[in-house]
Structure 1
Amino acid sequence: MAWIRRKADKTSLLPEIVLITIVSFLPFKEAVRTSILSKRWSKIWLSTKNIEFNELFFLNPPETDATKQLQRRTLFFDFITHFMDNYRVINTVDKFSLKVSNPESCADIIERCVAFATERGVKELRLDFSDPTWEENEDDDNDHHDALFQLPNHVYRHASLEALELYACGFAMPDMCNLVELKDVSFGWIEMSTNTVKTLLSTLGKLENLSMKKCWNLEHFDMRTQEVGLRRLVIDKCHFVISDYVDLRAPNLKFLKYSGKLGIFEVKALPEVVQEAQLDFTPMPKFEEYGDELCQLLLDLSGVRVLTVCSFLLQALPTGEEQMRMQHDMEVRHLLVNTDLDNQELFGFVLLLSSCVYLEKLTLDIGQGKIYDEHVKPYPFDFAKFCCDQYAIFECVKDNLKVVEINGSRASKNELRLCFYLIQVGCVLEKLIINLAKEEGNEMLEIERHERASLLFDVPKASKNLQIWIV
């Protein structure tokens, strides 16, 4: 915003089409703010091609539902009406997003918004009617919500639509299959069936990206009988009725994110194509020995360059008999671990380091772990013994690891032990970045953590190029 203000006089000399292009690249809130720059800019934002109506931009935390409804009516809905009545472009909307909870009370303005977007040839349409409070119960399997609004019929005739996001918004099958140009589809907070997913994947030939968040009533995710053209797949805390079963043949898959319970999980992707995987099994209510299944999954994804894993995986991975098959088989360059660096997680961590021989960057997000009390460590050693005795020197640490970043660090004993170890054996290590956890209102604790982390500066370094940052 500041750079636009400094250049306002010069940019005001540009043709209007150029100014419209500028505001269309800005987030909608920033585009609106350009109206204060000068008289020339005062109405340019009314031509942006990137429109976002979000009630959260207008509502203060309400004391009552009546207050919220009053704010929506006098601020949010009036703004929407003013914008649409004064919009200066006829057929060039690229992106249109509408987020409003309790849509039943404002169906008329929603209908008008969707019609406004489709009449102007919108390419990307996002409708979000979910309630922000639903996120608080996202790990509750019984937290199911019926669609609060149905996608208007005229949208299915908008054949040029390329991206569609529907949250707490229902849709009609097989009408959805008329949108043959769709490349990107996201569903959230609605009932879905496995047959619906199969039909969409088999019918929409250009579909590249599919995301499902907190969808429920899926039997499973079984795509064994057909190869799909997906490049990106997200399954986020969906509820499977029969079993947590995911089987996918996707030779073009580049990105996979799965968050949910672990069951049978097979992904047939090409090692030379797949780039990134994020695996989060912390919704598992109790510890189960899924070591062999996890080993097979990591082998299926052995070609990924960026891998994010969870605390459950670290604890369960050593319980299988397939561990040796993983050794030196993964192409991972950047490993991200959600962890508490608890001794329960150590052996799984060791297995990953020994398998990722090309690893160049290691990121640890502290405080994101979930330790299962019923889990019994498979081997009697802990971080103190492992790090102090330099139990093993991994190929990746010795030859390739250049950057280590610890986020949310509490400068705990195990964190410092691991850092001591990496500093002493990391021959090519260039950066060690410690981002300390912030504790609002507890400055003394932050100072104590900084002092403990500062001990790292005195550790003998295996790499002459190593720089240490404590933030």
Structure 2
Amino acid sequence: MNSNIDRISNLPSSLLVIIASFLPFKEAARTSVLSKQWLNIWRDAMHIQFNENFVKSDEPEENRKVQRDVFINFARQFIANYSQQVIKTLGLACSKPGDFLSDIQNILMFASSRDVRELGLDFSDPTWRELALENHQAAFELPLLVYEHGQVLRSLKLFSCSFKVSNFSNFCALKTLSLGWIKINMGSISAILDSCPLLENLSLKKCWDIENFEISKPGSRLKSLVLEKCDIAYDGVLIEGPKLQFFKFSGNVGEFLLKNQSDLVKAELDFEMETEFDEIGLFLYNLLQDLFAAQVLTVCSVFLQIVPSGDEPLGLQAPIDVRHLILKTALHINEFCGIKFMLRSCPHLEILTIDIVPANILPDYGAPYPFNPHGFWSKDLMAEECVTSTLKAVNVKGFTGMMNELQVLRYLLHSGHAMEELNLYVSGEGGSNGETRGFYMGRAQQVLQFKKASRNLNIAVL
């Protein structure tokens, strides 16, 4: 039998369309180069994404206008020649919708006529800065035809797109809602939750006019909550009622109260926007205690710098059940106490991922107790319970072999009696002193020579 036969291309076109529909729209379009039979298959894909991301923000406005005209003309031709009766997903990203109102209206009519289940509308401008304080007026208003189609929608994304909260009662089957770059208050958020009883996933990105974020609706089906760089006036977050499985927060440190979150599986905390150090450690200490059930936890550099300054500098009084801890860290000495704090607070830890990234090192940082940074990871110090007993795998992403990285790895290998894997993902970026990936690979070889407590350890340099 000839193993080189292309069996997929010999399938009927109706099946090829189904195969292409499982691919992202851009990847589906690329199948047109495979053969003549694949040439137009992608044009019947059921996951459609019209994205103007090829418009270069650093070019003159006249050039960008030409590029947008080409983009809209492509979308216009695509929907005019589309032959399928149903589409599953339609996404539209266009930063200047005011220039193409009739075309956008036609795209939305096309989506409604094909009973689209997942609709994403992003009218934000890529040049807007997420960390900036200025807010931007919504660039587009959701038209009536989308509300009229609301009973079919399962997923809705609205970025820089205003809407009427009173019409959200039409979205009675909605399970996923993502809002971004809009002004919205807590009253409107609560009204949306009341209007969408099946809602399971709520995401807010760069929203403002929220005073205190509070969800206390009993019987809520909400399982996933993402609050990303939103302007919450009093930095207060209260979650009581929904049994979350995923919680992600990105922004400034404030008072958090997550009550009875025993179903939580995964949490991500990013406070890299924070600029102050004093008197906020207790907030993070209490938040960490509320996340007691999380199996996977991601924390940032600022979190590591601040959390030991809370109630107990050495670790939580009531340890948490984290099995996979992900540290977004520069392995700066300001983070050392926080890393030890987290290891001591996670006695059942099985996987430790150290993701080495640029970090916000707080200028007014104060260590919670005196320590010698050069001897902090000494093999002579008592190791945490998880390191000696339960830790099985360590992943280091962005490895460059700097002194602090080597010290931490030496400590983990010397004390990790249960370790089975150490995976070093070498950085592909050059250093400020002209270092290259090959230079980092050479440093990784040093780790192979470290004394190892585990006889079953496999070290991979990737």
The question of whether the paired residues in 1 share the 8 Å contact of 2:420 and 2:456 is answered with yes
Q: Match for residue 99 of structure 2?
A: 105
The question of whether the paired residues in 2 share the 8 Å contact of 1:311 and 1:371 is answered with yes
Q: Distance in 2 between matches of 1:400 and 1:324?
A: 19
| Aligned residue runs from structure 1 range 186-197, under 5 A | 186-197=178-189
Q: Distance in 1 between matches of 2:460 and 2:293?
A: 31
Q: 1:446 offset after TM fit, Å? A: 4.0
What secondary structure, in the 3-state scheme, does the structure 1 residue paired with 2:341 have? Answer: helix
Q: Distance in 1 between matches of 2:92 and 2:421?
A: 42
Q: Distance in 2 between matches of 1:225 and 1:13?
A: 54
What secondary structure, in the 3-state scheme, does the structure 2 residue paired with 1:40 have? Answer: coil
Q: 1:322 offset after TM fit, Å? A: 4.7
Label 1:10 to 1:71 Cα distance change in 2 as closer, same or farther (>3 A): same
Q: Match for residue 455 of structure 1?
A: 446
What secondary structure, in the 3-state scheme, does the structure 2 residue paired with 1:299 have? Answer: helix
TM-score by length of 2: 0.94
The question of whether the paired residues in 2 share the 8 Å contact of 1:251 and 1:268 is answered with no
Mean Cα displacement is larger for which, 357-366 or 291-300? 291-300
Q: Distance in 2 between matches of 1:193 and 1:263?
A: 18
TM-score by length of 1: 0.92
Q: 1:399 offset after TM fit, Å? A: 1.3
Q: Does 1:254 align with 2:250?
A: no
Q: Does 1:279 align with 2:269?
A: yes
Mean Cα displacement is larger for which, 185-194 or 285-294? 285-294
Q: Match for residue 18 of structure 2?
A: 21
For 1:157, which of 148, 159, 174 is the aligned residue?
A: 148
| Aligned residue runs from structure 1 range 114-263, under 5 A | 114-134=108-128, 137-140=129-132, 142-158=133-149, 159-224=151-216, 226=218, 228-241=220-233, 243-263=234-254
Q: 1:8 offset after TM fit, Å? A: 8.3
Q: Does 1:69 align with 2:61?
A: no
Label 1:386 to 1:81 Cα distance change in 2 as closer, same or farther (>3 A): same
The question of whether the paired residues in 1 share the 8 Å contact of 2:289 and 2:318 is answered with no
Q: Match for residue 369 of structure 2?
A: 379
Specify every segment of 5 or more residues in structure 1 that has no aligned partner in the other structure, as ranges.
1-5
Q: Match for residue 3 of structure 1?
A: none
More helix by share: 1
What secondary structure, in the 3-state scheme, does the structure 2 residue paired with 1:377 have? Answer: coil
Q: State the AA in 1 paired with 2:170.
A: N
Label 1:278 to 1:321 Cα distance change in 2 as closer, same or farther (>3 A): same
Residue-by-residue CA offset, 1:313-339 (whole Å, 9 max, x unaligned): 212212222567824621111101111
Q: State the AA in 2 paired with 1:351.
A: F
Q: Match for residue 37 of structure 2?
A: 40
Mean Cα displacement is larger for which, 325-334 or 203-212? 325-334
Q: State the AA in 2 paired with 1:35.
A: S
Q: Distance in 2 between matches of 1:173 and 1:248?
A: 22
Q: Distance in 1 between matches of 2:35 and 2:335?
A: 58
Mean Cα displacement is larger for which, 288-297 or 123-132? 288-297
Q: Match for residue 422 of structure 2?
A: 432
Label 1:457 to 1:30 Cα distance change in 2 as closer, same or farther (>3 A): same
Aligned residues: 458
The question of whether the paired residues in 2 share the 8 Å contact of 1:101 and 1:130 is answered with yes
What secondary structure, in the 3-state scheme, does the structure 1 residue paired with 2:377 have? Answer: helix
Q: Match for residue 458 of structure 2?
A: 467
For 2:409, which of 415, 419, 422 is the aligned residue?
A: 419
The question of whether the paired residues in 1 share the 8 Å contact of 2:379 and 2:411 is answered with no
Q: Distance in 2 between matches of 1:9 and 1:303?
A: 49
Q: 1:62 offset after TM fit, Å? A: 6.0
Q: State the AA in 2 paired with 1:133.
A: T
Q: Distance in 2 between matches of 1:325 and 1:351?
A: 5
Q: State the AA in 2 paired with 1:40.
A: Q
Question: Would you identify which runs of 4 or more consecutive aligned residues in structure 1 move more than 6 Å?
Answer: none
Q: State the AA in 2 paired with 1:71.
A: Q
Q: Distance in 2 between matches of 1:53 and 1:316?
A: 42
What secondary structure, in the 3-state scheme, does the structure 1 residue paired with 2:53 have? Answer: helix
Q: 1:202 offset after TM fit, Å? A: 2.0
Q: State the AA in 2 paired with 1:386.
A: F
Q: Distance in 2 between matches of 1:350 and 1:38?
A: 57
Q: Does 1:318 align with 2:308?
A: yes
Residue-by-residue CA offset, 1:351-379 (whole Å, 9 max, x unaligned): 11011111111111213422112121121
RMSD: 2.1
Q: Match for residue 334 of structure 1?
A: 324
Q: Distance in 2 between matches of 1:28 and 1:39?
A: 19
Q: 1:154 offset after TM fit, Å? A: 0.8
Q: Does 1:94 align with 2:94?
A: no
Mean Cα displacement is larger for which, 183-192 or 368-377? 368-377
The alignment-based identity, stated in percent, is: 38
Residue-by-residue CA offset, 1:56-82 (whole Å, 9 max, x unaligned): 24x456631111111222x31221121
Label 1:308 to 1:341 Cα distance change in 2 as closer, same or farther (>3 A): same
Label 1:31 to 1:291 Cα distance change in 2 as closer, same or farther (>3 A): same
Q: 1:11 offset after TM fit, Å? A: 3.0
Q: Distance in 2 between matches of 1:290 and 1:109?
A: 50
Q: Does 1:344 align with 2:342?
A: no
Q: State the AA in 1 paired with 2:424.
A: I
The question of whether the paired residues in 2 share the 8 Å contact of 1:228 and 1:249 is answered with no
Q: 1:15 offset after TM fit, Å? A: 3.3
The question of whether the paired residues in 2 share the 8 Å contact of 1:189 and 1:214 is answered with yes
